[in-house]
């Protein structure tokens, strides 16, 4: 199967998956009239997708991998200077790894591009230009591109590693409270404004491409379909292939669906769809046939599924969703300003949002929802450099590190008291062993806690490296304190009981509590 054939299948699948059953049947019927084999392939994808029970979160290739052209074999341990830690995603654009840049000692998301991008000079130049443009956009709500690498003939993009949950995941639990939706939308609008100022149009803004970080802040991801506008007075080469429809139909502006030239206002249409979903929990235009939706958009502005409250927010959304680009907002900054003016009238904003000063597009929201408080597998790219809040599974994991670290360190005290009663040199050897192992274990616990507060993206990798040493030291401490308790029991029962309790708590923590809190926070 050629890449062009696969892209056509993927395009029809993406359109059909957003429709109700009647809409899907209509799309398949029209496709079958033109190309029965193509319709059969799409129907196979849809049937497989339905059997998996997934919705939108999984790309089409995961439910019918036999239709995807194989990706190049890529080593899983070392790619140039990058030490691969784990594979975190696959899709039509390639494979994404969590990797350590051994030159700078930082954790990155490393995206390996398919073979076809390495051979096609137009696509290579397009990817290079997009990578350079994304790297030029400095904003806390946009993932930073560190490098575009060519290693052994393959192209790779190294970016920030995001740990958090997509807005699509949040929406699976229903609409957000209005205050949180507005605060989220402000961060997204600020990110879009920063990109637009650099001439970068995202063209694929949707809930899957926006991640709420662990600190509650927002990261806009995946500029893979971005359009780079030439600076005023210059003429840039067009790298979009003729007949190619780029984007996700449910979020594409009418002019984008018609294949016309788009500008930043196309992103504002997608932003309006996204904001409506955040506040209403459903798509503004409901299900149905995308082709019929396009026809309605051409003829005029289709009615929304329902009005949203407050009315001022409804007016902002409707202006973003105008069919005529000239009737939309003229910039993302204007949208953000209107939303900032509205947020003071909403009562359910998080306290930290009320406390923020106006103006500060680089201010980061510090009140995550419960759904975003845990560490998810990386959604894409993120620094994770902000400190997590005190709620959720991560907070309990952090509390456990401090508690057990303090417990193990405290074993030194009864160990010192008991060493004189165990006789020389045995008492001194036991005490020194407890002292050394307790110091190492407490230091590692403290280091992990610190990493979780200031650079959470590196936490999982750091823990994998140091946990064998940590477990060994704490097991030795537990064993030696239990042995010391046995040796002094009968003559110094109070100290023996103290030692036994410390040993028991250390074992329980290591065997039961540590795995449970780690699974909840890091899985």
DSSP secondary structure, 95-130, as one string: EEEEEEETTTTEEEEEEEPPHHHHH-HHHHHHHHHH
How confident is residue 438, by pLDDT bands cut at 50, 70 and 90? Answer: very high
Are residues 178 and 200 in contact, defined by beta-carbon separation less than 8 angstroms? no
The mean per-residue pLDDT over the stretch 65-92 comes to 64
Residue among 190, 204, 289, 382 flagged as catalytic = 204
pLDDT given for residue 54 in this prediction: 39
Percent of the chain residues topping a pLDDT of 70:
68
Enter the DSSP assignment of 372. Answer: G
| Residue 208: per-residue pLDDT | 87
Reported confidence tier of residue 432, pLDDT bands at 50, 70, 90: very high
For the chain, give the mean pLDDT: 75
457-472 burial, b at 16+ Cβ within 10 Å, e below that, comes to bbbbbbbeebeeebee
pLDDT band at 259 (very low <50, low <70, confident <90, very high): confident
Q: Which residue has the higher pLDDT, 30 or 437?
A: 437
DSSP bridge pairs for 449: none
**CA distance linking residue 140 with residue 187, whole number of Å:** 9
Average the pLDDT over 498-518 and give the result.
Answer: 91
Annotated active-site residue 330? The verdict is: no
The angle formed by the CA atoms of residues 156, 203 and 342, to the nearest 5 degrees, is 120
Is the backbone of residue 68 left (phi > 0), alpha (psi -120 to 50) or beta? beta
* Structure confidence at residue 504 (pLDDT): 94
Distance separating alpha carbons of residues 91 and 201, to the nearest angstrom: 22
- Residue 151, H or E segment: strand 145-151
Q: Tokens representing 315?
A: 């007016």
Q: Which residues contact 428 (CB under 8 A, 6 or more apart)?
A: 419
- Residue of 303 and 85 predicted with greater confidence: 85
Average of pLDDT values for 335-355? 68
Do the strands 82-91 and 94-101 form a parallel or antiparallel pair, or are they unpaired?
Answer: antiparallel
Closest C-alpha to 217, from 386, 360, 393:
386
pLDDT recorded at residue 126? 63
Q: Per-residue pLDDT for 186 more than 90?
A: yes
pLDDT given for residue 407 in this prediction: 93
pLDDT band at residue 506, thresholds of 50, 70 and 90?
Answer: very high
| CA dist., res. 251 & res. 18, Å (int) | 11
* Predicted local distance difference test score (pLDDT) of residue 116: 58
Among candidate residues 154, 128, 158, the one with its CA nearest the CA of residue 145 = 158
CA gyration radius, the chain: 27
pLDDT at 227 (0 to 100): 67
- pLDDT at position 91 is 59
Distance CA 228, CA 315 (A): 30
Split at pLDDT 50, 70, 90, the class of 59 is very low
19/84: higher pLDDT: 84
Calculate mean pLDDT across residues 118-145: 73
Higher pLDDT, 33 or 488: 488
**Separation CA 173–CA 188 (nearest Å):** 20
Q: What pLDDT does 428 receive? A: 92
258 versus 359: the higher-pLDDT residue is: 258
DSSP state of 212: E
Per-residue pLDDT at 204: 81
Per-residue pLDDT for 154 more than 80?
no
What size, in residues, is the chain?
523
pLDDT range class, residue 357, cuts 50, 70, 90: very low
Sign of CA dihedral 48, 52, 53, 58: negative
Are 520 and 415 contacting, i.e. CB atoms less than 8 angstroms apart?
no
Q: 58 or 174: which carries more pLDDT confidence?
A: 174
pLDDT band with cut points at 50, 70 and 90 for residue 390:
very low
Which H or E run contains 498?
Answer: helix 493-508
pLDDT of 152: 80
In angstroms, the CA 443 to CA 470 distance is: 9
Check: CB of residue 114 under 8 Å from CB of residue 94: yes
Would you place residue 369 in the very low, low, confident or very high pLDDT band (cuts 50, 70, 90)?
Answer: very low
| Bridge partner list, 154 | 151
Give the pLDDT band of residue 353 (cuts 50, 70, 90). very low
Mean pLDDT (whole number) for 75-102: 79
pLDDT beyond 50 at 30 = yes
């Amino acid at each position: 199967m050629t890449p062009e054939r696969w892209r056509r299948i993927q395009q029809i699948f993406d359109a059909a998956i957003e429709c109700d059953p009647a809409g899907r049947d209509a799309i398949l019927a029209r496709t079958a009239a033109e190309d029965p084999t193509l319709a059969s392939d799409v129907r196979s994808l849809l049937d497989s997708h339905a059997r998996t029970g997934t919705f939108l979160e999984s790309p089409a290739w995961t439910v019918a991998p036999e239709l995807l052209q194989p990706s190049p074999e890529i080593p899983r341990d070392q790619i140039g200077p990058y030490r691969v830690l784990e594979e975190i995603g696959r899709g039509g654009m390639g494979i994404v790894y969590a990797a350590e840049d051994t030159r700078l000692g930082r954790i990155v998301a490393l995206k390996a591009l398919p073979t076809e991008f390495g051979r096609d000079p137009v696509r290579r130049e397009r990817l290079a230009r997009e990578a350079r443009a994304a790297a030029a956009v400095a904003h806390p709500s946009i993932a930073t591109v560190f490098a575009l690498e060519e290693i052994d003939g393959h192209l790779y993009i190294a970016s920030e590693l995001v740990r958090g949950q997509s807005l699509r995941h949040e929406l699976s639990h229903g609409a957000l409270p209005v205050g949180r939706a507005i605060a989220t939308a402000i961060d997204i609008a600020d990110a879009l404004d920063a990109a637009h100022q650099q001439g970068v149009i995202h063209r694929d803004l949707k809930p899957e491409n926006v991640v709420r970080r662990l600190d509650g802040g927002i990261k806009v991801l995946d500029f893979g379909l971005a359009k780079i506008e030439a600076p005023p007075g210059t003429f840039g080469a067009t790298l979009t292939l003729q007949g190619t429809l780029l984007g996700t139909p449910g979020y594409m502006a009418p002019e984008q669906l018609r294949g016309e030239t788009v500008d930043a206002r196309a992103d504002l249409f997608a932003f309006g769809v996204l904001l409506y979903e955040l506040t209403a929990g459903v798509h503004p235009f409901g299900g149905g046939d995308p082709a019929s939706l396009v026809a309605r958009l051409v003829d005029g502005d289709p009615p929304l599924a329902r009005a949203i409250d407050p009315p001022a927010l409804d007016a902002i959304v409707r202006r973003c969703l105008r069919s005529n680009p000239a009737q939309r907002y003229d910039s993302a900054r204007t949208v953000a300003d209107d939303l900032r003016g509205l947020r003071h009238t909403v009562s359910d904003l998080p306290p930290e949002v009320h406390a923020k000063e106006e103006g500060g597009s680089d201010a980061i929201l510090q009140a995550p929802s419960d759904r975003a408080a845990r560490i998810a597998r990386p959604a894409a790219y993120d620094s994770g450099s902000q400190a997590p809040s005190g709620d959720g599974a991560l907070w309990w994991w952090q509390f456990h590190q401090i508690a057990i670290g303090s417990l193990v360190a405290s074993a030194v005290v009864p160990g010192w008291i008991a060493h004189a009663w165990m006789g020389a040199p045995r008492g001194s050897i036991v005490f020194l062993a407890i002292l050394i192992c307790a110091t190492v274990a407490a230091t590692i616990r403290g280091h992990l806690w610190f990493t979780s507060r200031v650079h959470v993206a590196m936490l999982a990798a750091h823990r994998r490296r140091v946990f064998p040493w940590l477990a060994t030291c704490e097991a030795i401490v537990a064993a030696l304190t239990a042995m010391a308790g046995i040796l002094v029991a009968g003559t110094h029962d109070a100290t023996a009981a103290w030692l036994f309790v410390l040993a028991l708590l250390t074992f329980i923590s290591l065997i039961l509590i540590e795995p449970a809190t780690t699974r909840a926070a890091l899985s």
